[in-house]
Amino acid sequence: MLEIGITLLILLFFIFPIPGLAVCLGAWTCYLIYGKLLLLNRQPQRWKKIVWIHFLTGTADTILSLAIALMLSLVVYFLIFDSVRLFIFNLTFCFLISIRWFDFTHVIYRRLISKLQPISLPAPKNSVFSMLIGQRSGTGMGIGMKSVSLDSGYMYWDGHQLIFDGIMAHKVFSRNSVLTVEKVSSEKIKIVPARQNSNEKAEAWIIIIRQQFYPFKTRELRDRWFQQLSGLQDSDTRGFEVDNDRNPPGFPPLEYPPVRI
């Protein structure tokens, strides 16, 4: 069924490019809006501003990526080859590359988050500004886990513990408290705790490193976090179930550039 669906989708794009693009963009937009509304409803009332800041900066990133894609596509259309299909392809391709590779608003997001409480967020030495998303299964429509909470703050290592100091909560991750560690993307790590806390809504946590304009440049930092949490030296492993009986790895202290707001 999956192969048939992919084949029909490819045929739809080649035979009817404009209707196919409209259908896919409409379905994708509806799915994104549904996920955002679900997160907003699940977020504690006191900290909904974090979600709104995330929405606003994400919308700004989308608009800027679309503007860049439109500009490049128009250049190709008017100066190189005036094909509508090529224009649509270039617009889609450039937009996907820009939205994935560039984080235009990471500095704005960090500054807005820092103003949510009177005292500035703790910024220990070698800390990294990150987002922490809590996910839970059996919520909303469809299969898989959905986001139910969003927090932002600084992450840093204290010995063999990865500590998150956020606006909403203080979380500690270590090899003894982690069941599964998985690489999601260049700047994301998914962590499933070994024990579920009945006071928390989340069953899993996604760490998003928002430290640079280019998210893919945080891949090395993500790999080092993954190795320390899992004890693996192979940075190409996508996921790993932690064996808590082994001794913690003897990694040298990580050195990150200091974060200034």
Convert the pLDDT of each residue in 84-127 to its tens digit. 888 988 998 999 899 989 999 999 999 898 888 654 555 667 78
Domains and CATH numbers, the chain: 2-111 (no CATH), 120-241 (2.30.29.30)
Mean pLDDT over 1-29 rounds to 76
- Residues facing residue 234 across a β-bridge: none
For 191-237, the pLDDT digits (tens) are 988 777 656 678 889 999 998 888 888 889 888 888 888 766 544 44
Q: What mean pLDDT value characterizes the chain?
A: 80
Q: Which of 131-140, 155-164, 239-248 has the highest mean pLDDT?
A: 155-164
CA-CA-CA-CA torsion for 246, 130, 56, 97, nearest 10 degrees?
A: -70
**Cα distances (Å, whole numbers) of residue 167 to 5, 47, 115, 143:** 43, 8, 10, 30
Confidence of residue 1 (pLDDT cuts 50, 70, 90): low
Q: In what order do the strands lie in the sheet with 188-193?
A: 170-173, 161-166, 145-158, 128-137, 204-209, 188-193, 178-185, 239-241
Predicted pLDDT at 70? 95
Tell me: pLDDT of 248 over 70: no
Predicted pLDDT at 132? 92
